Amino acid sequence: MRNRTLEKVDLYYVLFYVLAPAALAIVVTFLIHLLPIRNLWILVGIGLFILCLVFWSLASSRIFELQLHKFEQQLDRQGFRRNYTFKSEAAALIIDINTGKVALMFLWSPFHPIVINASRIDKIWVDDGKFGLGPFATSKRVRFNFQIGKRKIRINTFSSNRPWRMDTDYILTGISKADMMAELLDRAARRNTK
Amino acid sequence: MNIIKAIRAPFQDSWCKKCFKTMDETHNQLFAMAGVTVAHFRPHADPEYFLRTLKPIPSLSSIPAGLYACRGVRYHCPKCGRTLVRLSIFLPVRGKEKEEEDVYFDRGQVDRLFEYH
């Protein structure tokens, strides 16, 4: 666990995640091609390509879940009291209000989680994604944001590929979650500055 | 007259289901649902759960964001003496209310909630 820089995307991890299965598939297909069985390599190549697609679409969230579980155990051993854990599709945020610490892990950097003092957070705000006026106002996503130095962290509490009216249950739940997380972060930040 | 009232009574919270008379609202109190935060609400019908969870609050502004609230109304029938408690559970979000469910108790199971109000 690093307590240095905030790394939302680990470039080496992303490259490995994309290239490693592709390279493995190419090598295996090539080796099959050397065998004296006609056209077997085409079948194997197609099969491995499908496996690669499955891996790319499913493995990142599974790796994230496993790493998060390990990270939580590590935090427990260090006496970090997990008052609240929020998991979105792209990040997880764990707050210890008593000590004013915040633990963060990102989907594309699951091997480099960080723990920061909440007092380092400069600004916390909620973005309800509102678009339009009055009863026609809609939103496709709701998120809470915070800024540490020049880095902005945005964590979605609701996202959709279609717009929803602002008074729908989805949007209200998303706003409520975002408001709650912003309030908890603020409490942790104030606790840490005392 | 009574037939029409009998048909309408199930849809009127404040009507007595026995004598179809309009009941008096004796208590109206807001509660916070301790420990029940957004996305963690589960329906309950056990009165003990509500006695344990509901904490009276003066207004919705006194509870933190993301915490569920409940509006408890107690009715009393002046004719037959029957009482009814309606607990309306909702999530307050910036002045709006995301309604979850209404739970009714007509045997005084949760009357203790209103004892000091």
Cross-chain Cβ contact B39/A173 below 8 Å:
yes
Which residues of chain B have a CB within 8 Å of the CB of A180? 37-38, 64-67
Q: What angle do CA A155, A6, A130 make, to 5 degrees?
A: 20
Bridge partner list, B83: B76
Q: What is the DSSP string of A102-132?
A: EEEEETBEEEEEEEEEGGGEEEEEEE---BS
User: Could you tell me if the ipTM is greater than 0.85?
Assistant: no
Which residues of chain A have a CB within 8 Å of the CB of B37? 180
Using CA atoms, how far residue B88 sits from A8, A142, B25, in Å, is 42, 26, 15
Nearest CA in chain B to A173: B38
DSSP 8-state assignment for residue B21: P
The angle that helices A11-34 and A40-77 make with each other, rounded to 10 degrees, is 150
Cross-chain Cβ contact A175/B94 below 8 Å:
yes
Nearest CA in chain B to A176: B66
Q: What pLDDT tens digit does each residue of chain A (194 aa) get?
A: 444 567 889 999 999 999 999 999 999 999 988 888 878 888 999 999 999 999 999 999 999 999 999 999 999 999 999 989 999 989 999 999 989 999 999 999 999 999 999 999 999 999 999 998 888 999 999 999 999 988 899 999 999 999 999 999 999 999 999 999 999 999 998 886 65
Chain B nearest CA to A168, separation (Å): 8
Cross-chain Cβ contact B98/A177 below 8 Å:
no
For chain B, which residues make up each domain, given as ranges?
2-114
Nearest CA in chain A to B99: A169
Which residues of chain B have a CB within 8 Å of the CB of A168? none
